[in-house]
Amino acid sequence: MSDDSLPAPVPVRTAAVIPAAGRGVRLGPGAPKALRTLGGTPMLIHAVRALAASRSVSLVVVVAPPDGAAEVKSLLDAHALPDRTDFVVVPGGETRQESVKLGLDALPPGHDIVLVHDAARPLVPVDTVDAVIEAVREGAPAVVPGLPLADTVKEVEPAAVPGGPEPVVATPERARLRAVQTPQGFDRATLLRAHETVTDEVTDDAGMVERLGLTVVVVPGHEEAFKVTRPLDLVLAEAVLARRRLNDGY
Ligand code: CTP
Ligand code: MG
């Protein structure tokens, strides 16, 4: 039996919040990171397209650099995006956590699942997006894509002076570690509660749900969902795009 004969899965109403308000300090001087281009197209547009490519995603909320909401709106207008998806732009905050909260505040009712996806992960494949949505739909309150690590990880006592020797405190068993990516997917009510009650600084949204005492599950991530953080990541992103163009024949 071919896949074509299977009924198409019923889309779940899903909203995506894309924090894109960071400066991109580690990438070096230039425009805010999300507005820098890859293959001639702003990173943010790649990220929006990647999420809107999922049939389940009917709304995308872009959290723009604080003084860049108008520019982001015109970028969205200028690039081809799926008609079935609505787009909202709000200005972001000082930290990623604040930016995500501002995005959540802009969500209208009617979406049962909320994804949070870094604009800095412009090349995430739609299959990864759909796998996260599917796991939330099957009942997990919080889902993160993750990959096994290539490097062994050491916990250290950080040096007082940058570059100084750092005593190793522990070596966690590598096979039990996962490097987590986005989109992270949530039952909407759970994510809203996490953002209302957890005030500690965390580096990902699933971490806030963990603080609520709920179980977060990891599903397989994808190497193309890497985060563009440092200059070398731009080289890798351009190479991935070039390979896709070759494979897709355009
Ligand atoms: N982000 C945000 N608002 C902030 C800080 C970060 O919306 N105040 C977003 C970034 O735009 C990015 C995502 O959170 O899409 C992940 O953050 P990161 O990779 O750290 O991006 P930046 O903070 O821009 O980079 P850097 O830390 O190097 O300045
Ligand atoms: Mg940052």
**Would the CB of 17 count as within 6 Å of ligand 1?**
no
Instruction: Quote the ligand 2 centre to 197 CA distance (angstroms).
Output: 22
Check if 41 has its Cβ closer than 6 Å to any atom of ligand 1: no
Which is nearest to 231 in space by CA: 38, 19, 22, 20?
Answer: 38
pLDDT digits (tens, 9 = 90+) for 164-199: 999 999 999 999 999 999 999 999 999 999 999 988
Ligand 1 contact, 92 CB (< 6 A): yes
Rounded to whole angstroms, the Cα distance separating 185 from 97 reads: 15
> Under a CB-based contact definition with an 8 Å cutoff, are residues 183 and 116 in contact?
yes
Contact 116, 104 (CB under 8 A): no
Residue 179: DSSP 8-state? E
Q: Which of 17, 18, 23 to mutate to test the pocket of ligand 1 (most atoms within 8 A of CB)?
A: 23
Residue 157, token pair as written in the block: 């006592």
The 8-class DSSP code of residue 201 comes to -
Kindly report, residue by residue over 128-152, the tens digit of the pLDDT: 999 999 999 999 999 999 999 999 9
**163 exposure class (CB count in 10 Å sphere: 0-12, 13-18, 19+):** exposed
Q: What is the pLDDT of residue 10?
A: 64
Q: Which ligand is nearest to the CA of 92?
A: 1
Q: Is the CB of 47 under 6 A from ligand 1?
A: no
CATH class belonging to 11-144+180-248: alpha beta
For the chain, the domains span 11-144+180-248
Q: Compute the distance from residue 94 Cα to the ligand 1 centre, in Å.
A: 10
Whether the predicted pLDDT of 66 surpasses 50: yes
Residue 97 — φ and ψ, nearest 5°?
-60, -45
Q: Which of 64, 148, 158 is nearest to 106 (CA)?
A: 64
Tell me the two tokens of residue 172. Answer: 């966690």
What residue's CA is closest to ligand 1, atom 13? 118
Q: DSSP string spanning 82-127?
A: -TT-EEEEEE--SSHHHHHHHHHHTPPS--SEEEE--TT-TT--HH
Q: What is the mean pLDDT of residues 3-18?
A: 79
24 Cβ inside 6 Å of ligand 1: yes
pTM of the full predicted structure? Answer: 0.94
Ligand 1 atom closest to the CA of 27, numbered from 1: 28
Closest CA to 212 of 229, 231, 193, 226: 193
